[in-house]
């Protein structure tokens, strides 16, 4: 597991400690995590990983799972991704 | 019925403010608190220029940050495609009321304290052209009383915006005693551009919404004070039994307990009816700085000030 994935997972579990969570699970399909929690996740990701998420990446799909959010962090922090 | 003074005709000669597309109105917003920030955002989102004024540079900075954050969240949730930077670029922030000299409308959002609002109306009246319409965004103070502070009572009108302003689809629209039909029409047109349905009511302290809501919140606070139920239980009754999206104490936290207290005091002063006497627990929380969601604590605790998650209940001992 990458470090961003671990941090993101910990953030979700800190709020919802009773959730059984794997990295590919759709957190919005669990039922009680609503889209508004995604707004907190956006702020968490930006402040924790010192990234600014551009408008075109601001979609719920990028925060739907631990892996999706971690992949986003990877894209925004890896200069090779930025070029490609 | 007494004759209504329609003014000196300056409204017509100086050009009627037109909220439609032919003339892109500039809207001044006084006060960068929760409501003023929301009004500035809602106006800027529909491509109008905004001049946002507050004496506090910190408040203006917080307003810009909040507007940027809200616009981004709108994109995230797919509810709004506005470019956050473009919205911000339409908003000029300043500490000087003089910057409102070219505005077609000025929306006043000062805290619900007549003594604080009064000198600002006199200043606005001096600074703004005679055609500028003053919109009082108040939750309890009679519009006619505010209009009496100006030389243009025909161009003063009340709009009770709801919080959060950009998301709420309707407002209370309150003509004062002297408000002209032209002012009413121009304001209704501006609200339509902003996507707001205007529900017109007569001018009376608290209008419809807060005349009822403040009493409900206050009575819920008395229940808490008496130990009849916890804050969480009170809100649960309203959500689960009545199907309300939020209970009265959650709603109070969202509005701000300082605003609730001031509104009750205005209602108490205006009607001289003891039913508006504020609950001691409400006054205590405000004195303690626990003014609701914006402070991280009110009737409930909030782990993140910007959080919209379910609040944890405050247990009074």
Which of B246, B241, B252 has the alpha carbon at shortest distance from B290?
B252
- CATH for B10-200? 3.40.50.720
- Which alpha helices (DSSP H) does B46-147 contain, by range? 57-77, 84-89, 114-127, 143-147
Task: List Cβ neighbours of B294 (8 Å cut-off, separation of 6 or more).
Answer: B34, B256, B305
Chain B residues with CB inside 8 Å of A42's CB? Answer: 72-73, 76
Q: What is the pLDDT of residue B9?
A: 30
Which letter, b or e, does each residue of B4-26 get, where b requires 16 or more Cβ atoms within 10 Å of its Cβ? eeebeeebeeeebbebeeeeebb
Residue B6 has pLDDT above 60, yes or no: no
**Does B210-313 carry CATH code 2.10.10.100?**
no
* CATH 3.40.50.720 domain residues, chain B: 10-200
Tens of pLDDT along A4-61? Answer: 999 999 999 998 888 888 899 888 887 767 767 888 899 999 999 999 899 889 988 9
Alpha carbon of B84: minimum distance to chain A alpha carbons (Å): 8
Does the distance separating the beta carbons of B306 and A40 come in below 8 Å?
A: yes
Measured CA distances, B296 to B36, B247, B263, B292, B314 (Å): 20, 18, 21, 6, 12
Q: What is the pLDDT of residue A84?
A: 42
Chain B residues with CB inside 8 Å of A43's CB? Answer: 69, 306
CA B227, distance to chain mean position in Å, is 32
Residues 42-71 of A with CB under 8 A from B: 42-43, 53, 55, 58-60, 63
Nearest chain B residue to A40, by CA? B307
Residue B317 has pLDDT above 60, yes or no: no
Task: List Cβ neighbours of B185 (8 Å cut-off, separation of 6 or more).
Answer: none
Q: What is the pLDDT of residue A32?
A: 64
Which of the four pLDDT bands, split at 50, 70 and 90, describes residue B215?
very high
What is d(CA B208, CA A28) in angstroms, rounded to the nearest whole number?
A: 38
Tens of pLDDT along B232-271? Answer: 999 999 999 999 999 999 999 998 999 999 999 999 999 9
Three-state DSSP state, B172: strand
Task: List Cβ neighbours of A35 (8 Å cut-off, separation of 6 or more).
Answer: A28, A60, B76, B77
Q: Looking at per-residue confidence, does B25 or B30 come out higher?
A: B30
For the residues B159-167, what does the mean pLDDT come to?
93
Chain A residues with CB inside 8 Å of B84's CB? Answer: 55
* CATH 1.10.1040.10 domain residues, chain B: 210-313
Task: List Cβ neighbours of B288 (8 Å cut-off, separation of 6 or more).
Answer: none
Residue B69 has pLDDT above 50, yes or no: yes
For the residues B304-308, what does the mean pLDDT come to?
46
CA B122, distance to chain mean position in Å, is 20
Q: Structure pTM?
A: 0.79
Which ipTM was obtained for this model? 0.76
Q: What is the pLDDT of residue B17?
A: 54
The DSSP bridge partners found for residue B106 are: B28, B134
Of A40, A43, A60, the CB nearest to B77: A60
Which of the four pLDDT bands, split at 50, 70 and 90, describes residue A80?
low
Burial class for A35, CB neighbours closer than 10 Å (0-12, 13-18, 19+): middle
């Amino acid at each position: 597991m990458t470090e961003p994935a671990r941090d993101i997972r910990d953030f979700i579990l800190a709020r919802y400690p009773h959730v059984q969570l794997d990295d590919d699970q759709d957190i919005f399909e669990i039922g009680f995590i609503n889209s508004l929690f995604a707004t907190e996740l956006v702020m968490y990701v930006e402040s924790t990983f010192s990234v600014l998420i551009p408008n075109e990446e601001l979609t719920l799909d990028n925060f739907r799972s631990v892996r999706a959010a971690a992949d986003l962090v990877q894209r925004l922090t890896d200069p090779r991704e930025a070029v490609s | 019925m007494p004759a209504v003074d329609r003014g000196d005709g300056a409204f017509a000669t100086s050009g009627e403010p037109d909220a439609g597309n032919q003339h892109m109105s500039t809207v001044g917003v006084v006060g960068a608190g929760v409501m003023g920030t929301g009004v500035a955002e809602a106006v800027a989102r529909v491509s109008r220029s905004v001049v946002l004024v507050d004496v506090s540079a910190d408040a203006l900075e917080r307003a810009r940050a909040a507007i940027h954050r809200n616009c981004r969240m709108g994109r995230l949730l797919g509810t709004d495609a506005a470019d956050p930077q473009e919205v911000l670029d339409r908003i000029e922030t300043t500490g000087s009321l003089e910057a409102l000299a070219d505005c077609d409308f000025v929306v006043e959002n000062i805290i619900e304290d007549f003594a604080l609002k009064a000198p600002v109306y006199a200043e606005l009246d001096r600074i703004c052209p005679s055609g500028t319409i003053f919109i009082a965004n108040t939750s309890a103070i009679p519009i006619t009383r505010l209009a009496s502070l100006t030389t243009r009572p025909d161009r003063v009108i009340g709009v009770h915006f709801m919080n959060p302003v950009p998301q709420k689809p309707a407002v209370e629209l309150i003509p004062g005693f002297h408000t002209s039909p032209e002012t009413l029409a121009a304001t209704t047109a501006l609200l339509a551009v902003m996507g707001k349905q205007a529900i017109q009511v007569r001018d009376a302290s608290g209008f419809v919404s807060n005349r009822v809501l403040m009493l409900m919140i206050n009575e819920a606070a008395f229940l808490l004070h008496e130990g009849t139920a916890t804050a969480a239980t009170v809100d649960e009754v309203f959500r689960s039994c009545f199907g309300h999206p939020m209970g009265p104490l959650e709603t109070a936290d969202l509005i701000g307990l300082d605003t609730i207290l001031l509104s009750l005091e205005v209602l108490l002063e205006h009607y001289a009816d003891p039913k508006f006497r504020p609950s001691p627990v409400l006054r205590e929380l405000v004195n303690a700085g626990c003014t609701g969601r914006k402070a991280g604590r009110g009737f409930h605790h909030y782990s993140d000030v910007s959080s919209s998650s379910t609040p944890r209940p405050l247990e009074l001992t």
